[in-house]
Structure 1
Amino acid sequence: MAKQFSTNPDALRIIRGVGGNYWVRSASGEELQVQAPGIFRNQAVRPMPGDLVLCEATSDELIPLRMTDITERSNELPRPPLANLDLLWILIPLAKPEPDLWMLDKMLTIAYAQNISCRIIFTKQDLVDSSACALAEVYARAGFVVNLSDPTSHALHEELRSELHNRFVALAGPSGAGKSTLLNAILEGDYMPTGEISEKLRRGKHTTRHSELFPVRGGYLADTPGFSSLDLAQAGVTEESLVQSYPEIWDKQNDCRFLSCKHLHEPGCAVRGAADIDAGRLERYQAFRELLEKDKAYERKRN
């Protein structure tokens, strides 16, 4: 994973973009508006929040900086537009609403294609019995970083606070996943009022017009409204990266009868065979099939 902050000491991070206007945060913490030159538009270059940019001074007191270059991105999401994420926290409720595992797998697939590390946080543990928590074990066995959370998960909250340091972390998850509750727990006592961040992120969930990064503990935090509605191909997902984003399928495919097995209808498919005898694998396999078929349908439509 690429480092969170550019090794170029002169690079500034775009923290907000609204209607073609951009703001960066200086080393001293000052927010400054920056111009995007017309040549960017001519070359179809679109600055994004999270971009690390080089700037020069202008004579305009209101817009004191002008972008001269955008450093190479480690990753990017087109909606909402975000670049250079270090980590994605995916929050999935175990109850109220019921967990949407297809959405979870889709977000994991997109994150894998974009080289974004993930942490899955199953929330509302206090509302379910131990059998519902077995869901977390399915993803942990597949190799993902998984946590169970409720309002009293103090050790996890401290771990997440540490993880924010010097990183660009984004939140993802359905409405009702408990993002505000988690934020109120992990940002307690931060120099930026917890309620202010929670309220801004909550408002952000209802608009995809712009993205905004909030400085927290030496790093940045952002919400990802609209992320889960992305088309796979639009997010850079290929058939190969889709398979690779399912570690239990990637590891098993060498046991298939045919090297060209797509793990759909082919005889002697070891992936299907393993799914048939493991309920956890079966649910993941069904999500994999649906994502693969949707990706193929998108490709046919595009061509």
Structure 2
Amino acid sequence: NTPKGVYECRARGVFREENITPLIGDKVLIRLSEEDNTGYIEKVFERKSQLMRPSVANITQIIIVMSIKKPDINHWLLDRFLIMAEHEGLNIHICINKADLDDESINLTDKIYDKAGYQIIKTSTKTGEGILNLKKVLEDNITVFAGPSGVGKSSLLNAIKPKLNLKVGDVSRKTTRGKHTTRHVELIDLDSHGYVVDSPGFSSLNLDFIESETELGKYFREINEHSHGCRFVGCLHHREPGCEVKKQVEKQNISIIRYENYLQFLEEIRNIRRY
């Protein structure tokens, strides 16, 4: 995509020799063919950021989309997405879609993640709530939408840019889970000086990128903040005496839901390291 139009380009063979794979979102130098609107990629410029699952480059922010109902919000899964996003160092927004379906649950979720230092964008494609707010967040950014299937990512993009006409999937009545409707990674121009990466989803949410048990707490903002008050350096906030994090959980300054998820992830990392 250039100021003069869109060109279909192929990567030169030299990239294979240099072990470089052009990715969605790359900024590149191209040489155009004189015969048609095609060309060759001559150079891939240095990337500001890179995700491997999905494989995209130069992302400036991530919006984690969850639905409050149909399917019900899963805080455990949301926290896994947040760990991955924090690890990548991306600017993070949480979007809770289908906000018209359950006020009580969305208020609880808002309270949990407000304590953790996150702002929530509440949206509904039925009522139009939050769509303009979401559109402003997308301006002048390259954004990747993350979240499980069925939460309404494609519906949100259709609401922001109706002419996209992206396919929208149904949620299974039996499993209350959605079906993937996006089949490939695509960079969508939003007409608002911004782009969105629409992808089939994150192929893996394994925590195998975390190298040690002590690293996990860094990706929970509120745990990381209070860990400096712990008696021992390297406190895992589990059974250690003098743990400031556990004190804050008891005082309800840290959500018990987030803390219990942290302990589950800690055990998972221990098992990964063990084997």
TM-score relative to the length of structure 2: 0.83
Is 1:128 the counterpart of 2:141 in the alignment?
Answer: no
Are residue 78 (structure 1) and residue 46 (structure 2) matched?
no
Partner of 1:259: 233
Aligned to 1:245: 219
Structure 2 residue aligned with 1:194: 164
Q: CA deviation at 1:115?
A: 2.0
The answer to whether the 8 Å contact 2:65/2:151 transfers is yes
Name the CA distance, whole Å, in 2 between partners of 1:299 and 1:54: 42
Cα–Cα, structure 1 residues 156 and 73, in superposed 2: closer, same or farther, change >3 Å?
same
**Residue 248 (structure 1) shift:** 0.8
Alignment match, 2:207: 232
Residue aligned with 2:70, SS: coil
Question: Which amino acid letter does the alignment assign opposite residue 26 of structure 1?
Answer: T
Cα RMSD for the two superposed structures? 2.9
Work out which of the residue numbers 101, 112, 118 in structure 1 matches 2:75.
Answer: 101
> Judging changes above 3 Å, is the alpha-carbon distance between structure 1 residues 163 and 293 closer, same or farther for their aligned structure 2 residues?
same
Match of 1:180 in 2: 154
Please point out which of 122, 137, 144 is paired with 1:170.
144
Give the unaligned 5+ runs of structure 2: 171-178
Aligned length: 266
SS of 1:64 mapped into structure 2: strand
1:131 and 1:115, CA in 2 relative to 1: closer, same or farther beyond 3 A? Answer: closer
User: What does 1:1-303 correspond to in 2, within 5 Å?
Assistant: 25-28=1-4, 30-58=5-33, 61=36, 63-65=38-40, 67-130=41-104, 132-151=106-125, 154=128, 156-188=130-162, 193-195=163-165, 198-199=166-167, 205-206=180-181, 210-217=184-191, 218-227=193-202, 229-234=204-209, 242-278=216-252, 281-301=255-275
What's the offset of the Cα at 1:59? 6.2
Tell me the alpha carbon deviations over residues 154-180 of structure 1, each in whole angstroms, 9 at most, x when there is no partner.
Answer: 462112222333321221111221223
User: What displacement does 1:194 show?
Assistant: 3.3
1:248/1:160 Cα in 2 relative to 1: closer, same or farther (>3 Å)? same
Name structure 1 gaps, 5 residues minimum: 1-24
Query: Greater relative contact order: 1 or 2 (C-alpha under 8 angstroms, separation 6 or more)?
Result: 1
Amino acid at match of 1:157: I
Residues 112 and 241 in structure 1, CA contact (< 8 A), matched pair in contact too = no
